[in-house]
Amino acid sequence: MTICIDCRMIDASGIGVYLRESLPWLLQSGGKFLLLGNAKRLQCYLSNANVKIIECDIKPFSLKELFFFPLKTARQINSASLYFSPYFNIPCFLTIPVFTAIHDIIFPDMPELTSKIGLYARMWFYRRAYKKSQKIFTVSEFSKSRIQYHLGTKKPVIVTHSAIQPMFLAYRANIQNVQKTQTIIFIGNIKKHKGLDLLLDAFSLAKKEGLPHRLVVIGAKENFRTSDNTVLQKIEALGGEAVTFTGFISDEQVMEYLSKAALLVQPSLYEGFCLPPLEAMVLGTHALISDIPVLKEIYSGFPVTFFRSADSSDLKEKMTKLLINKIPSSPILPDDLLLKYTFKKTASVVLEELKSNKDTL
């Protein structure tokens, strides 16, 4: 069996991590693989004798992908037994079984995040992927339930969790007696569902009560859009260096910030999986997270602290209590939690589902 894997988004953020970290385990399976994407970027995988590359620079979700995909490239893909995409974009002219991943289905759940036209376009892609796929992969039971709610229950939806990147485990092994700083870390984009606006309200209340900590946002302030004026005004009202932005930083720098932080706060209103709390705990930093269903699912049994979702007062109370008492300063993850989510497990589930399709090829 030959599996064609769409690697065009290998350097994207969440999707790219899911693909990059799963790919080595997939390639070790002994099957044959065609990797679709930038040949120079994928060159490192040619050390595997079972790998060939299909050069393709067509952007995912583009009109060219949908209607004008090169027939030569399509023929190369169709020479494989099946096609796997880590996201829900599918090129036209494919005649082999297709498997896709839908990490979340946030837009119909939170339509306020986009326009009516934007929602319609996204639903068209969701439905197209659902219709054309043999099976759908997703990253949590919560996402599975929402996919089935919006798209139907006729197609199998398989949960393959996201996971901690090995570099976090390697970094963890090389740090000892880290001196904590008076910083609170927020990792996420500026979209409403990430909850930065809520965190700023809680942080402002805490500062008025004398909290000495700074809020560090991993990301660039320049990424704010004009529609985020309210958030910018809240930041400016805090004054001075109360809130700082790191700008674009390397993975090493992210890990350094996380390991030295007093607390990570994840105030999300919606997620498909959400890795920052796990990354923080692996590096010895406590996580304060909202009690939305998916985070209750993913972090059940983990030494995290939950606050009531969308409640800035409760977030402030929990945040100040943790920081003032400094308990727990460094959460301890036993091996069963440390290795609960791994990309080796994710890849094995994906492979099992792909291979189970061979009888229908």
Write out the DSSP string of 263-322. Answer: EEEE--S--SS--HHHHHHHTT--EEEE--HHHHHHTTTSS-EEE-TT-HHHHHHHHHHH
Kindly list the structural domains of the chain, giving each domain's residue range(s) and its CATH number in brackets, ordered by start.
2-163+342-360 (3.40.50.2000), 166-338 (3.40.50.2000)
Contacts of 304 (CB under 8 A, 6+ apart): 277, 281, 286, 287, 288, 289, 331
Least confident of 94-103, 258-267, 325-334: 325-334
In this prediction, residue 358 has a pLDDT band, given cuts at 50, 70 and 90, of low
Asked whether residue 224 carries a pLDDT value surpassing 70, the answer given is: no
- Point out which residues pair with 84 in neighbouring strands: 5, 99
Q: Are residues 343 and 163 in contact, defined by beta-carbon separation less than 8 angstroms?
A: yes
In this prediction, residue 228 has a pLDDT band, given cuts at 50, 70 and 90, of low
In degrees, to the nearest 5, what angle opens at C-alpha 138 toward C-alphas 135 and 142? 125
What pLDDT does 231 receive? 77
Q: Alpha-carbon distance 353 to 347, whole Å?
A: 10
Q: What average pLDDT does range 114-132 have in this prediction?
A: 96
Q: What is the pTM of this model?
A: 0.92
What pLDDT does 226 receive? 45
Q: Tokens 């199998």 — which residue? A: 156
Q: Are strands 98-101 and 263-266 parallel, antiparallel or unpaired?
A: unpaired
Q: Alpha-carbon distance 279 to 138, whole Å?
A: 20
Q: What average pLDDT does range 44-53 have in this prediction?
A: 94
Q: Are strands 133-138 and 287-290 parallel, antiparallel or unpaired?
A: unpaired
What pLDDT does 173 receive? 87
Tokens of 128: 């197209």
